Amino acid sequence: MNIFAHIKSKLSILEVINSYTTLKKAGLYWKGHCPFHSEKTASFTVSPHKDIFYCFGCHTSGDLVSFISQIENCSPLEAAQFLADRYNIELPTSVSYAQNTQKKKRYFEICTIVADWCHKKLLSCPPVLRYLASRSIEKPESDYFHLGYLPGGPQALRIFIKQMAQNNILVEDLIQSNILVKGKRTVYSPFEERIIFPIQDHIGRYCGFGGRTFKPNDDRPKYYNSRENDYFIKGSLLFGLDLAKKRIQKTEIAFLVEGYTDCIAMIKAGYHNTIATLGTSCTEEHLKILSRYTQELIVLFDGDKAGQHALVRLASLCWQVTLDLKVIPLPTNEDPASFLEKGGDLASLINDAQDIFSFFVATLAKDFATKPLMVKLKQAKKMIDVLHKIDDPLKRDILLQRASEAMQIPFSSLQAAATAKDRETPASTGDLINNTDRKESEANSTPNNASQAVLVNDVFCAIMNDIAIFNKHNVKYLLSFFPPQMQKILMVLNTKIEKEPSGVSFSQFFDELELNDRYYVSQILLKETEKKDDHVFEYLIMQLQKRHWKAIAHAIKKKIERAKQENNQEHIIQLLQDFMALKKKMVGKNLI
């Protein structure tokens, strides 16, 4: 048994998914609002007896492991490990999974133990607590974010190393985890004498640290983050996401800020759906992760030039993800923490939040008339580069019109430049494939082919709803007449049945499929819920056999010839019996 089958045998798909969205019984199935996209009418369906789910809105589908993989944005193996950890499922030694899982698990364990140790140190260090209080960070916030402190100096470091050893963590482990650094004579930590912000990934595992200086005479860089490794990549991590994601899903909105203290200030002010980048620019990967939890993102960046530059850069990324981005430009020299500390009214700013493209246009067009010609050309080009990517032609024209008015450039000139930019953009591979498929489909769309496709689809859906009927009607002789993906899935079923003639459950068959094939089968099962009785299925099969009788007969004869060459008398007899029985049935129905 593999890790996926073991996990699914221990858990109810209904129980797990119900922790992400509210499900209500609807006949054989359970329905609720889809956790993968925003919707008013519930279109997300779970089938407990098949252990699968499907959304009729966004077409996301799969089983329990793939649900966690998608909702938590992690690999299937990480999803299985996540479920094992969350529900305290012991993985027997017979369960197989990747060798590096233990190494990864060890890294997260070390980060967790260090985070706990630093948190206890912070609670017993008055100078650090006083500093945090001066920044309006009290014990509730320290506990919520598990803030910590790493004392400095050789003696403090020796104590730290000794207490880590009591947890079976060696100096070499701490060096490999980037918590200690090996110097020429001794080891040291770049986190010494810093307030520690433990960083969790989106499924709640401690994976790194941010450290901030707090002493007035400390001339080191204010912030220091863990060095990047396989498990700590700043461009795909967001501070506070694990804590905020349920609130984000519930409110269907997220607030994004630039730093740890800004995030803490927002949470303290009641905006529990806030996350922060790790002192880096927001990346496309950040946006993709957030798009799994919400459709609307409001960005609050500092009111200085660097903050505005970051927002302009964000406008060039956001068209690539399905997110509605809005912007709150804070007053000059203010960040969210300072703005809130001074009693600023954030609610009114949220009500006036600008669409990011509108902000982009307004920012680039500001004081445009007074700028040198080369700067004007550069900014106009930057405007076109971003706006031409907007899919909605009406929205694009409205923004181009605004740009035209602000820049005093004729609308027709901007529109022509955007259209020319469209022609420059090469067709994506997906577009080329879709166009090719469409042409082939149009070339082959005869009435006969259309009815053939419907017939094949009906047979396939019937088998997926009741895999036991596969063996009753000699379906294996028809495998080559199904489309490639259906054929591959049916061949997996055929192989599984041949290996286990005593009987195969749907779950056993489903586990054998590749990930894409699981999604495909999930869609079929929750779209086509009706089971076919034996008489209806037999009729469908015989219609297919009638269409392909010559090819079936030819294929069986070739198998008989091959069996003769191999002198396999038993196989010859079986093939002849199958052929005669099939022919007798077809003749009896006047189909040949």
Identify whether 440 is part of a domain: no
Q: For helices 100-123 and 76-86, what crossing angle results, to 10°?
A: 50
Tokens 């707090």 belong to residue = 214
- Residue 199 is predicted with a pLDDT of 97
My answer on whether 228 and 248 are in the same domain is no
| pLDDT (average), residues 17-36 | 86
CA pseudo-torsion sign 141, 142, 147, 152: positive
Identify whether 475 is part of a domain: yes
Tokens 């955007």 belong to residue = 418
Per-residue pLDDT band at 120 (split at 50, 70, 90): very high
Query: Cβ distance 179 to 114 under 8 Å?
Result: yes
Is residue 24 predicted with pLDDT exceeding 80? yes
d(CA 493, CA 482): 14
d(CA 309, CA 297): 18
My answer on whether 472 and 551 are in the same domain is yes
Q: To the nearest whole percent, how much of the chain has pLDDT over 70?
A: 85
For the ranges 246-250, 356-360, 502-506, the one whose mean pLDDT is highest: 246-250
Q: Lowest mean pLDDT: which of 55-59, 102-106, 277-281, 433-437?
A: 433-437
Identify whether 438 is part of a domain: no
Instruction: Look over the chain and give the mean of its residue pLDDT values, rounded to a whole number.
Output: 81
269 or 577: whose pLDDT is higher?
269
Instruction: Take residue 20 and report the two structure tokens written for it.
Output: 């992400």
- Residue 478 is predicted with a pLDDT of 73
Q: How many CA atoms lie within 13 A of 33 on its CB side?
A: 13
pTM over 0.75: no
Cα distances from 101 to residues 77, 78, 93, 95, in angstroms, run: 9, 9, 13, 13
Instruction: Take residue 510 and report the two structure tokens written for it.
Output: 């489903």
- Is 126 in a helix, a strand, or coil? helix
Per-residue pLDDT band at 295 (split at 50, 70, 90): confident
d(CA 193, CA 128): 10
589 or 237: whose pLDDT is higher?
237
- Residue 557 is predicted with a pLDDT of 78
d(CA 11, CA 522): 18
d(CA 11, CA 416): 58
Range of the domain at 287: 236-361
173 or 555: whose pLDDT is higher?
173
d(CA 195, CA 115): 11
My answer on whether 390 and 276 are in the same domain is no
| pLDDT (average), residues 241-261 | 91
| pLDDT (average), residues 463-479 | 72
From the number of C-beta atoms within 10 Å of its C-beta (0-12, 13-18, 19+), residue 575 rates as middle
Cα distances from 138 to residues 127, 143, 239, 360, in angstroms, run: 13, 9, 19, 37
Per-residue pLDDT band at 585 (split at 50, 70, 90): low
Identify whether 434 is part of a domain: no
My answer on whether 167 and 249 are in the same domain is no
Is residue 314 predicted with pLDDT exceeding 60? yes
> CB under 8 Å to 38, separation ≥6 — which residues?
252, 294, 295
d(CA 110, CA 208): 10
Closest among 64, 39, 42 to 53, alpha carbons compared: 64
DSSP symbols for 130-170? HHHHHTT--HHHHHHTT-EEE--SHHHHHHHHHHHHTTT--
Per-residue pLDDT band at 588 (split at 50, 70, 90): low
My answer on whether 271 and 389 are in the same domain is no
Is residue 523 predicted with pLDDT exceeding 80? no
CA pseudo-torsion sign 551, 555, 556, 560: positive
Quick: pLDDT tens for 351-382. 889 888 888 888 778 888 888 878 888 888 88
Identify whether 528 is part of a domain: yes
Identify whether 114 is part of a domain: yes
From the number of C-beta atoms within 10 Å of its C-beta (0-12, 13-18, 19+), residue 420 rates as exposed
| pLDDT (average), residues 90-116 | 77
Tokens 């008055």 belong to residue = 126
- Residue 451 is predicted with a pLDDT of 65
Per-residue pLDDT band at 479 (split at 50, 70, 90): confident
d(CA 286, CA 253): 15
- Residue 220 is predicted with a pLDDT of 93
Is residue 324 predicted with pLDDT exceeding 50? yes
Is residue 9 predicted with pLDDT exceeding 80? yes
Residue type, 21: T
d(CA 282, CA 297): 12
Query: Cβ distance 312 to 341 under 8 Å?
Result: no
Measured between its terminal Cα atoms, the distance across the chain in Å is 46
My answer on whether 468 and 569 are in the same domain is yes
Residue type, 14: L
Quick: pLDDT tens for 144-178. 999 999 999 999 999 999 999 999 999 999 999 99
Among residues 328, 361, 394, the one where a domain terminates is 361
Find the helix or strand (DSSP H, E) in which 25 lies: strand 23-26
- Residue 288 is predicted with a pLDDT of 83
Q: Lowest mean pLDDT: which of 72-81, 443-452, 461-470, 539-548?
A: 443-452
d(CA 184, CA 254): 46
Q: For helices 3-10 and 76-86, what crossing angle results, to 10°?
A: 40
My answer on whether 40 and 133 are in the same domain is no
Q: Which of the 8 DSSP states describes residue 239?
A: B
| pLDDT (average), residues 174-191 | 91
My answer on whether 497 and 571 are in the same domain is yes
| pLDDT (average), residues 80-109 | 75
Instruction: Take residue 230 and report the two structure tokens written for it.
Output: 């396989």
Identify whether 436 is part of a domain: no
Identify whether 336 is part of a domain: yes
My answer on whether 213 and 115 are in the same domain is yes
Count how many domains the chain has.
5
How many C-beta neighbours within 10 Å does residue 483 have?
11
Q: How many CA atoms lie within 13 A of 554 on its CB side?
A: 5
Residue type, 310: A
> CB under 8 Å to 69, separation ≥6 — which residues?
62, 75, 76, 78, 79
Among residues 232, 255, 276, the one where a domain terminates is 232
CA pseudo-torsion sign 152, 154, 155, 156: positive
Among residues 342, 361, 380, the one where a domain terminates is 361
Query: Cβ distance 273 to 254 under 8 Å?
Result: yes
- Residue 576 is predicted with a pLDDT of 75
CATH at 314: 3.40.1360.10
My answer on whether 492 and 530 are in the same domain is yes
My answer on whether 354 and 375 are in the same domain is no
Backbone angles phi, psi at 55, to 5 degrees: -110, 125
- Is 409 in a helix, a strand, or coil? coil
Residue type, 349: L
Query: Cβ distance 325 to 283 under 8 Å?
Result: no
Quick: pLDDT tens for 390-449. 777 887 888 888 888 888 888 888 888 888 877 665 433 233 223 333 333 333 333 344
My answer on whether 134 and 114 are in the same domain is yes
Instruction: Take residue 154 and report the two structure tokens written for it.
Output: 């050789």
- Residue 133 is predicted with a pLDDT of 95
